[in-house]
Every structure is written in structure tokens, then in C-alpha cells.
Amino acid sequence: MNKKSPKPLTDELKPYVAPFRYDGAGEFHLKSHKTNEKGGLDKESATKIIEANRERINDFQEKLYAQDRWSLLLIFQGMDAAGKDSAIKSVFEGVNPQGCEVTAFKQPSTKELDHDFLWRSMIALPERGHIGIFNRSHYEECLVVRVHPEILAKQKIPPRLVTKDIWRDRFEDISAMERYLARNGILILKFFLNVSREEQRERFLERLEDPAKNWKFSLADIGERKLWDKYQAAYQDVIRHTSTKHAPWHIVPADHKWFARVVIGSAIVAALDKLDLHFPAVDKADRSEFKQVREALLAEGKGGAKAKK
């Protein structure tokens, strides 16, 4: 009796990816996406999936690095306390740091403001064979800058170019850039960690009560919280206009951190599984050299054994 072939990873992980993936097809309304979704899982079963995905990502990362053809760009966005830092740390636990780099985008420096708004992201892109993780990204230029017009005024853009269409123009520029990257072998996955206002409040209180987390909090966070509705509208606009098949957004339910990690890890594994990653084949000439090296090492060992006698 023939054994059944193993279920493809993409099929196995589909329930934790497909409902949260948006590639621009159809309408998009952020309010229709729940923040407290659990996908029918409990924390214990979710932990098993998270651990399995870590092993899979580690395996794929080794092949990605060895093959040296593709690279992976992961973009994380979300409101303060949505769990971006902890999600990145959890999902990539055990992955070789030599082939993985996290870039956290803070307030632009003077040098960065002397360049176009995409410049600092472009110079941080992952090399072939590497994984690049953006903790916040060029999308801040259509989010925080849009919510705070005073920041835009400091960006040294010629006044005649700052029109009512600037956000539409930036959406077009970002989409064109991501299409270019995809055509050059960079796989792009974007994650919006969708946390509720109430859960953010609870996490802010936790930061205040835990001395080890005090450093994460500032009064500015409360000021941003008052602009919640404006940020939600900006995120909806960003996701609606920059989701494509080659650079989809994943609207990750983030009220339960463990389920967010299931979705993120599953999306990464499912995408890498489609790349047909493998270790490079060794040609006959190299195999012949390996044989000579092996013989030399074995002879070296025998010589050491005789010396001990």
C-alpha cells in the first residue's frame, strides 16, 4: 500500500495565512479585520506551530544563504505596543544572525533628510541570500508624516511639489520600488500588527508597572494615542493602495501575541516554501577535490596516531 505524500506546507499553514493576507484584490476595510482573532487555536497548540515554524525558517534560511539567489525583506508596521519587537525576536529565535539583519527606523537624521524619502530604506536592503527585517520602514512616510504635517514641512521638499496629491504620489513611488525589488529577486512580505485601542492601553499600563519596561514608555505615546483614528485611517489608505501580489500586506491580529506569531511565522514559511530553495549541487571536479582533501585529513590522523605510540 502506497504511503500518502506529506501535505504541502502551504496547505498546512493556509488557515493561518490566507484569511489575513491582502494582495490588492477586492475591497479593503481595516475595521472588518478583528484584532483578537485566535484562528481556533489555544496557546498550547499555537506554541507547537510557532516552534515548528522556527525550525522551518532556520532550515530555509540556511538554503537561502547557500543558494545566494533570493533575498527576503520583511516589513513590520503597527501602532505603539503592537508587539513588533517581541514578534521579531520570537519568530526568528535560533536563526543564524550572520544571514539576518534587523533595521529599526527611528526619526530621520539630518543626513537622511538630505535625501529622498526612500533613500534610507534602499541602503538597508538585504543582500542576496540574506533576510532583512524592517522594524518600521519607508511606510512611516505615509503614516506618521501624514498624521503630523509639521514633519513634512521639515523634509526640504520644494514647496511646489508638496501638493494635495503627495500621498497618492508616495503610494505610487513605493509600489514602483517594491515591484522593482521583486523583479530583482527580493521576496517582500509586509505585516501590519493590528492591535486594539484597549489592548494598547493595557500594554502601556504594563510598561508603567514593570521597571524592566519603563524605558519603552514616554508621554509622547499618550499624545499619539489621542490620534488613534487618524492613524487607523492612514493605515487603511496605505494598505489599500500598496498591496500587490508581489508585495502583499498581512493584517495580523495582534491582541494575542502568540497568535500574531503563528500568523507571521506561517506567512514566512509558506512564502519561502514556494521558492524551491536548495543547497547548490557540487560538480564532479569539486567532488574529486573533496576526495583528495578527505584522504589528506585521514592520513594526517594516522600520522598523529603513530606519533602518540
- Compute the distance between CA of residue 37 and CA of residue 194 in angstroms, rounded to an integer: 10
Residues ≥6 apart with Cβ < 8 Å to 180: none
Q: Which of 268, 251, 256 is nearest to 44 (CA)?
A: 256
Instruction: Quickly name the fold that domain 9-278 has.
Output: Rossmann fold (3.40.50)
pLDDT tens series, the chain, 309 aa: 455 545 667 789 999 999 999 999 999 999 999 999 999 999 999 999 999 999 999 999 999 999 999 999 999 999 999 999 999 999 999 899 999 999 999 999 999 999 999 999 999 999 999 999 999 999 999 999 999 999 999 999 999 999 999 999 999 999 999 999 999 999 999 999 999 999 999 999 999 998 877 777 777 888 999 999 999 999 999 999 999 999 999 999 999 999 999 999 999 999 999 999 999 987 766 666 767 777 777 888 666 556 555
How much is the pTM?
0.90
Q: Which of 267, 237, 230 is nearest to 139 (CA)?
A: 237
Report in angstroms the alpha-carbon separations of 283 from 280, 288, 290, 293, 294: 9, 9, 11, 16, 17
